[in-house]
Structure 1
């Protein structure tokens, strides 16, 4: 699964991966990636970091709370230097060399016989909190699920996640203990992940009504 809000780059990388025999599902932001992920089971997730609605690391963090995604390898891409978070097997600096990405996908998809051991890391924002958060636009990103109550709650949960991550950053800068705040952040992530799992079922029953 390839996730990037830069349409030209996304289409170029998708074309290269397809030309090397890979099936590619693409998404334009983190929320769309959640929608795509519940519909398919990707062998590898390749995601940009800074995107509208839901950033790449936050989308990956939500997916990793679900058992079916726990051992799916992840590549995070960014034009900026990325701190190690434990979320990704590979941190890739943009501009991306297509041949390098193809080799990474092949190595990550088939090069390991045992799943990586999960590592817990406290949340760390990779950019400033999104001051332009628009719940209505975010809900639309969930496509066919946008009319469900789950979609509204997912977007609200993500908004709370962002606010809590910003609060943790402020506490850290003040050299204060963040243990309880991190635990609350983790609960918010788990709540959003549970709602993501419920999306297809709720969409199905909404159509039946």
Structure 2
């Protein structure tokens, strides 16, 4: 039995996968967007995170980057799902293209847990990376997802930090398209992620 955090903005699909994985003996927690996933992860401490890539408020890869900046999640395996082709990266332990069967997900769950527990062991999953999009940011919905009063200092700073992340991702993408060196902009993006991650960890105490 594993504790699984399943993140997808498609409610019907999320509930179907939750029920199917629960039938295989897993305890499954759901979240409907990247912001809600951050809070759910801190609250539930999952053994595995399964996340859609394209979601409102905060995309799956961004949520994963923030969580991986927290020591408690650095070794938690991640499976990313997408309806599009996925390109390779170290960001996730495995990736799967939608539509996905329950059997495939169950296989990947055991695979990534085994690979994480055995450093250097080969994984059957294909790692992936996507580009962060700059649209879809809604501070009001994000504040509601964090479950805290909108004027709480932590919440205000988290929302501003994520807004800056999106802006920086947009600028970095534009520089990359122009063929310019993006090493420094990418380092700034990473620092913003670390900052937001630290604040997310403090949310339960705000």
* TM-score, with length taken from structure 1: 0.87
Matched, 1:25 2:29: yes
Query: Structure 1, residues 135-157: CA drift from partner, whole Å, max 9, x if none?
Result: 11111111256562211211111
Q: Which of 124, 134, 138 is 1:129 aligned to? A: 134
Q: Which of 53, 76, 81 is 1:49 aligned to? A: 53
Q: 2:88 maps to what in 1?
A: 84
Query: Structure 1, residues 158-185: CA drift from partner, whole Å, max 9, x if none?
Result: 1110110111111111111111111110
Q: 2:203 maps to what in 1?
A: 199
Distance 1:46 1:153, change over 3 A: same
Residues in 1 aligned to 2:62 and 2:119: alpha-carbon distance in whole angstroms: 21
Residues in 2 aligned to 1:140 and 1:56: alpha-carbon distance in whole angstroms: 18
Q: 1:73 maps to what in 2?
A: 77
RMSD of equivalent CA atoms: 1.9
Q: 1:207 maps to what in 2?
A: none
Residues in 2 aligned to 1:62 and 1:193: alpha-carbon distance in whole angstroms: 5
Q: Which of 181, 184, 201 is 1:180 aligned to? A: 184
Unpaired segments of 5 or more residues in structure 2? 122-128
* TM-score, with length taken from structure 2: 0.88
Moved over 4 A (4+): 144-147
Residues in 2 aligned to 1:146 and 1:19: alpha-carbon distance in whole angstroms: 38
Q: 1:148 maps to what in 2?
A: 152
Unpaired segments of 5 or more residues in structure 1? 118-122, 203-209
Tell me if the contact between 2:94 and 2:112 (Cα under 8 Å) persists in the aligned partners: no
The total of aligned residue pairs comes to: 195
Residue 116 of structure 1, CA deviation: 6.9
Residue 114 of structure 1, CA deviation: 3.0
Residues in 2 aligned to 1:111 and 1:169: alpha-carbon distance in whole angstroms: 32
Residues in 1 aligned to 2:156 and 2:98: alpha-carbon distance in whole angstroms: 33
Tell me if the contact between 2:58 and 2:137 (Cα under 8 Å) persists in the aligned partners: no
SS of 2:89's equivalent in the other structure is coil
